[in-house]
Chain A
Amino acid sequence: MRNDKLKLILLWLVFLFPLLVLVLHSFSGQWAFPSLFPDTMNFRTFIYFKENVGRIFIHITSSFVYSILAVILSVVYSLLPAEFLSRREFTGKKIIESLLLAPAVLPVMTFSIGVHVMFIRLGLADTHWGVALILSVYSYPYMLRALISGYKTIHPDAIVCARNLGAGFWQILWEIEIPMLLPALTAGASIVFLVAFSDYFLVFLIGGGSVPSYSGYLFPFLNSTDWSLASGLTLLFIIVPILLFLVLDLTVIRLYRKWL
């Protein structure tokens, strides 16, 4: 047992160490080779945050907006097909399902550069909608997959029962399916949001610099020699999705308990 506890502590140390180094770096003034600890410490990163709070806020908000749009689009694409694929059996179903899931498996470059050419002609390049669209193409399979397993938990008789009692399509959707799909929706939405928010390449390709994004804001710092600023901004990058998940997890789980 003692041995096991040691192993557990070691596990935490190994996985938290890189983050601790990032924290240490964001407080460091100078940290040159071969010092094991920062030579000088200061709050330069925080002063930078304070001075640039407006710009940082705009970039994070913009990333939020297109990531949420991508989540909404993925729900729109996936809701009906998920119901269909979870309830029907037909020949070639596996093939259709595999094909629909393929955009998440294949490297994004294979289709996104072609889409870039298309978006330039359609006037969608350099717009939030364009960025949200390309992100949703790559990430909707996660939502589809989550909703297919979600629909499998709803007994078909529940829907038949509701229909016999006179409920229409929208009423069934809003009052029966959506509440019961909530865990699946949350799981799918978390992944789609995370994928969209973390992405650098697609936003850079389709957004072309005119759509502000936090990953695009952060990127030049990662390639610079100013590791303390880069570390601080990276920590902020990591904190945003983690916070969102905590909030989402708490609220949705509570709502779900209330409903059932």
Chain B
Amino acid sequence: MKLFPALIPFTLFFVGGIALTMIQSLGMMNPLVHYDSMWTAYKIVFTHAHFMKSIVFSFYVAFVSAGLSIVFGTLLSYGIWHLPGILQNKTVVYKIPIVLPHIAVAFITMIFLSRSGIIASVCYHLGIISQMEQFPNLIFSRYGVGEIIAYIVKETSFVTLMVMSVLMKFDKRYIQTARQLGAGEIRIFLSVVLPHLKEILTTTFLILFIYSFGAFEIPYILGSSTPGMLSLQVYDYYFRHDLSQRPIAMALLVILFLISSLFTYFYFMISNKLGSKWDFVDKGKV
């Protein structure tokens, strides 16, 4: 069968990797684990508050960063779309963050946001703060400010790219008609343009949410360890604790997998309904 070549990575490594994770979360394949029950690792995860906090924190960071990226990206693309055609062709610069590696974005965020960074210095010169310590600790903050801003920097351009692909096909005469009928600019955006963007915004939001929910690089550079995102907890339990604690890392991964699968299911449901519009190919650049 012609599908066979793709089944090698899919079945062997993707499904196989997930299966091995599940098996190990039950305490199997591990000589140092002697649990009374298969579900001990899960019991530990669900009865310790810091794991639950981590899950909630990951939700919060992913939700806020994806949501704000959607807002900024939509506004940016709407602005670009309003430019006359000749100028529109000169806006490629907005795509820069799409090709930037995540660790580079994290570093740039650090240069700007840290206490000795650019924004702190500008605040000093504006007289807002008089010494470094007065600047809030945005990197490694409990509220995930550094992580959220890094994701917004990275993802806003991706949203812009996605929304532009829909806006390019949008007939500008709709807007002229609405204007003639007396609609204001905000009204036009909300009730004429936005309904057309509903699907692309939903699918893009889901992609960004799933990514930020489980990604490692940005939290590793910018995140605090308490509560810390789920991926950091997994890293901690997989690499820094001894082998007997490994089922906990695996149980956390299974939870990560189940939650992201649910959102992935929604993503495919909506994008399949859209027909063959699979714009997510470009997601790799995010």
Residues of the A chain whose Cβ atoms lie less than 8 Å from the Cβ of B52: none
Question: What total of A-B pairs shows CB separation below 8 Å?
Answer: 236
Contact partner, A18, options B112, B207, B211, B231, Cβ 8 Å: B112
The stretch of A46-54, A103-111, A174-182, A249-257 in contact with B is A103-111
Whose C-beta in chain B lies nearest to the C-beta of A215? B103
Q: Is the interface of B mostly helix, strand, loop or mixed?
A: helix
Number of interface residues of A (CB under 8 A): 87
Output the least CB separation between B261 and chain A (Å).
Answer: 7
* Residue B192 at the chain A interface, CB threshold 8 Å: no
Which of A78, A80, A106 gathers most chain B CB within 10 Å? A106
Residues of the B chain whose Cβ atoms lie less than 8 Å from the Cβ of A139: 284
Q: Does A77 lie within 8 Å of B234, measured CB to CB?
A: no
* Residue A145 at the chain B interface, CB threshold 8 Å: yes
Q: Does A8 lie within 8 Å of B14, measured CB to CB?
A: no
Given contacts A7-B79, A110-B253, contact A223 B20 (CB under 8 A): no
Q: Does B216 lie within 8 Å of A201, measured CB to CB?
A: yes
Given contacts A33-B121, A114-B16, A223-B221, contact A78 B103 (CB under 8 A): no
The complex places the Cα of A113 from the Cα of B16 at a distance, in Å, of 11
Residues of the B chain whose Cβ atoms lie less than 8 Å from the Cβ of A103: 9-10, 14
Interface string of B143-169 (1 = CB under 8 A from A): 000000000000000000000000000
* Residue A248 at the chain B interface, CB threshold 8 Å: no
Residues of the B chain whose Cβ atoms lie less than 8 Å from the Cβ of A146: 281
* Residue B83 at the chain A interface, CB threshold 8 Å: yes
* Residue B182 at the chain A interface, CB threshold 8 Å: no
The complex places the Cα of A102 from the Cα of B108 at a distance, in Å, of 30
Interface string of A71-84 (1 = CB under 8 A from B): 00100111111011
* Residue A230 at the chain B interface, CB threshold 8 Å: yes
Output the least CB separation between A35 and chain B (Å).
Answer: 6
The complex places the Cα of A172 from the Cα of B13 at a distance, in Å, of 31
Residues of the A chain whose Cβ atoms lie less than 8 Å from the Cβ of B125: 34, 36
Contact partner, B5, options A32, A77, A114, Cβ 8 Å: A77
Interface residues of B (CB under 8 A from A): 1-6, 8-10, 13-21, 24, 29, 79-80, 83-84, 87, 90-91, 93-94, 96-97, 99-104, 106-108, 110-112, 115-116, 118, 120-122, 124-125, 132, 207, 210-211, 213-217, 220-221, 231, 234, 238, 249-250, 253, 256-257, 260-261, 264, 267-268, 272, 278, 280-285
5 closest cross-chain pairs (CB), A and B: A107-B214, A111-B17, A198-B101, A114-B17, A114-B20
Known: A34-B121, A140-B6, A237-B101. 9 other contacts (CB 8 A): A12-B93, A109-B216, A109-B231, A109-B256, A113-B17, A118-B13, A118-B16, A142-B281, A222-B103
